[in-house]
Homo-oligomer: A and B are copies of this chain.
Amino acid sequence: MTRVAVLGARGRMGSTSVEAIEAADDLDLVAAVDKDDAIEALTESGAEAALVFTTPDVAMDQVIWCVERGIHVVIGTSGFDDEKIARLRELAADHEGIGILVVPNFSIGAVLMMRFAAVAAPFFESVEIIEMHHPDKVDAPSGTAVRTAEMIGAARREAGSAPLPDATTSDPDGARGAKVDGIPVHAVRARGFIASQEVLFGDPGEIFGIRHDSSTRESFMPGVVAALRGVTARPGVTVGLDTVLGLTD
């Protein structure tokens, strides 16, 4: 039984996480803190792990506060880039045994899709990505699609794969999307989709596809729970759910 505190507990991800933690047999919610609450509730309640969903302007200070008090941290706040992760590594070096888990994507389905795509990448001649989102999304292609393409591109480079075959000579206009790291990414924006992505690999006589459709915030909860279960046994800084899920060492 791990005693868990949530920071940013009344936001959308925070409040859904509070419910998921309460429903998990081996997690004990001991504090649910939001911006008007005192962070000291974490030490007072004996929290062993903190789940951070607060805004980027306060999240780093709260992480430092937790780690200095021996509390493991799962970071769901966005914007933890290479520079911030370097600062976390220094922090971890000063506090041995404390786990800091930065999670850019809590969707286990999305993490599996990216991991499997990277493993499959060297085995096929062709690969393209189609991502489908609601039409209120302002950017294209999606961050997950870009990350998937980068992972596929890196895997193919490492394996010495040939460039993708493409005889196109006439394509005057172009559609929504991009070529990322040599991998074509097509961006569909249609009412009815929330967040979907398909990775299509091709070889002569076969197509291999991986697809993930996500429709509710609930779909992130298994990832939140897995992160909280895994962080206490994983000292130092870890980025992404892959190792927690046992997908990589």
- Where the two chains meet, the residues of A that have a C-beta atom closer than 8 Å to any C-beta of B are 107-109, 112-113, 116, 119-120, 123-128, 130, 132, 135-141, 164-179, 184-193, 200-219, 221-222, 245, 247
Contact = CB atoms under 8 A, between A and B. Distances in A.
Contacts of A218: 204-205
A107 to B, nearest CB: 7
Contacts of A113: 208
Given A126-B135, A186-B130, A193 B171 contact: no
Nearest to A112: B120
Contacts of A222: 123, 203
Given A112-B119, A178-B173, A193 B202 contact: yes
Nearest to A136: B167
A176 to B, nearest CB: 5
Question: Lowest 8 A-B CB distances belong to which pairs?
Answer: A175-B177, A192-B202, A205-B216, A174-B174, A205-B219, A126-B190, A190-B202, A173-B178
Nearest to A186: B186
Each complex incorporates copies of this chain amounting to 4
Contacts of A184: 175-176, 188-189
A201 B33 CA distance: 34
Given A210-B209, A212-B207, A219-B206, A190 B139 contact: no
Contacts of A109: 201, 203, 206-208
Contacts of A188: 128, 130, 184, 186, 200
A12 to B, nearest CB: 14
A196 to B, nearest CB: 9
14 contacts: A108-B123, A109-B206, A116-B119, A126-B190, A136-B167, A139-B170, A174-B174, A177-B177, A190-B202, A192-B203, A192-B213, A206-B215, A206-B219, A215-B215
